[in-house]
């Protein structure tokens, strides 16, 4: 909330009107109330950006049911509830607009240790396509953005692991991590008239990582914590040449 307040203050100082409301996107009543407050403040809604997202790192056998429910609840149910609330208002008032869903390259690129996150983003991708088909007759556009590794507070604990830092940079053809501005530019395009002939699309914003794949986090983090005896021998996240060295060791033993 503190970061949101800082952004709101910056926008207001620049002359843009702002309404800041803390909402649990898993709660339909709170979401509906948010739309009502938005309409009261601005006179309507033109663009909906479903950007609320969470994730945890957990193997399937260790994952708590609460983890699964939380990640699917925020990422997928939240996208549905916000979309439903805004579309209801549009249809009731003869209005139309554009919806931008924040998915991930993990809508198609799997990660070990994040089955719930990948499932939620796969759901967002298919929800985007289904909603685009259903709402097109009303003049409503629905698209998604699928970011790769973006430097945000959500990813900083991954980037600080040297093995993962090197592995991810190796798998981005442009050899850098994404910045929030990279995603914002695509969102601005999808919100503008320049995207009027696009709907049902999911646009990768990842420097080309989806062309190669993404390293799974869980084994590298377990190794960084010294849990070498608790993880399988897998080549994921190993530095270049490490697999060959491991094979040589096994041959000499």
User: Annotated catalytic, 117?
Assistant: yes
- List all residues 6 or more positions away from 202 whose beta carbon is below 8 Å from its beta carbon: 103, 107, 125, 128, 129, 143, 144, 145, 146
Instruction: Say how far apart CA 152 and CA 237 lie, in whole Å.
Output: 21
**Crossing angle of the two packed helices 78-92 and 28-42, in degrees rounded to 10:** 40
Closest CA to 145 of 182, 171, 176: 182
DSSP classification of residue 124? H
Instruction: Say how far apart CA 210 and CA 199 lie, in whole Å.
Output: 21
Kindly list the catalytic residues: 117
């Amino acid at each position: 909330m503190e970061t949101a307040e800082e952004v709101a203050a910056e926008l207001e100082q620049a002359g843009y009107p702002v309404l800041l409301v803390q909402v649990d996107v898993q709660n339909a009543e709170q979401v509906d109330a948010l739309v009502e407050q938005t309409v009261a403040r601005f006179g309507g809604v033109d663009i909906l950006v479903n950007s609320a997202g969470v994730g945890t790192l957990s193997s399937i056998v260790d994952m708590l049911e609460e983890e699964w429910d939380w990640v699917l609840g925020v990422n997928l149910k939240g996208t549905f509830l916000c979309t439903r609330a805004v579309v209801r208002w549009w249809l009731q008032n003869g209005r139309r607009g554009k919806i931008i869903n924040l998915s991930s390259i993990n809508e198609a690129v799997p990660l070990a240790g994040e089955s719930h996150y990948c499932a939620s983003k796969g759901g967002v991708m298919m929800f985007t396509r289904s909603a685009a088909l259903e709402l097109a007759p009303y003049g409503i556009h629905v698209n998604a953005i699928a970011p790769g590794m973006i430097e945000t507070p959500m990813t900083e604990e991954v980037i600080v692991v040297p093995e993962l830092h090197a592995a991810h940079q190796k798998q981005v053809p442009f050899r850098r991590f994404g910045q929030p501005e990279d995603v914002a530019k695509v969102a601005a395009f999808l919100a503008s008239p320049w995207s009027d002939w696009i709907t049902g699309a999911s646009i990768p914003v990842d420097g080309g990582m989806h062309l190669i794949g993404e390293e799974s986090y869980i084994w590298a983090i377990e190794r960084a914590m010294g849990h070498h005896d608790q993880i399988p021998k897998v080549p994921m996240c190993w530095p270049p040449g490490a697999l060959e060295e491991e094979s040589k060791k096994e041959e000499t033993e």
